[in-house]
Chains A and B, each alone.
Chain A
Amino acid sequence: QLQLQESGPGLVKPSETLSLNCTVSGGSITSPSFFWGWIRQPPGKGPEWIGSMIYSGNTYYNPSLQSRVTISVDTSKNQFSLKLSSVTATDTAVYYCASSPRGTWTFNWGQGTLVTVSS
């Protein structure tokens, strides 16, 4: 069974770039059966899909964040990553990595990591 684990800094300064990694265990990130993605949840609010990618390289981003987001994969580490540039306080949230079975855009989530944007 796939398990996903987020890692990265819990505090990022305004205007800087948020960078998170997600390590996949129990399966290969090169599997054509899954999309790999990121979702965030501000405190007390509903989740927001950030974007997803498949190993072959196709990426899909939320238009509201597209200009600031990059999702990429590192096959040597069985990881995928998120970079969100020019962050502000409104980017403070719990960030989750997630897998989606190919053919359905439902999500199975990692445990999440809180990222706070503050100077």
Chain B
Amino acid sequence: QSVLTQPPSVSGAPGQRVTISCTGGSSNIGTGYDVHWYQQLPGAAPKLLIHGNTNRPAGVPDRFSGSKSGASASLAITGLLAEDEADYYCQSYDSGLSAWVFGGGTKVTVL
């Protein structure tokens, strides 16, 4: 059971918009720690997609965007492409555990 809760899967047709939620609690996201997002393509290492809730590293398309409100965060993918099929993980810090924590991951399927 992950400290951060994500839906196991989301799907959408090419060109559509999908969102992935990441719900935490009072010892992590809710207490103000930033949320970061990673994309893991099949068979590959995770790649940083969004950091500091809303910031895209260089090279990440602006189709990917992040937001945070209260104890939750979201990742949105607009203009869905076949190459976006991957697992997506949110990550934050938990002060109660004194540990970095990840969500359980969300598999995005492009129909």
Are A and B physically bound partners? no
Interface residues of A (CB under 8 A from B): none
Interface residues of B (CB under 8 A from A): none
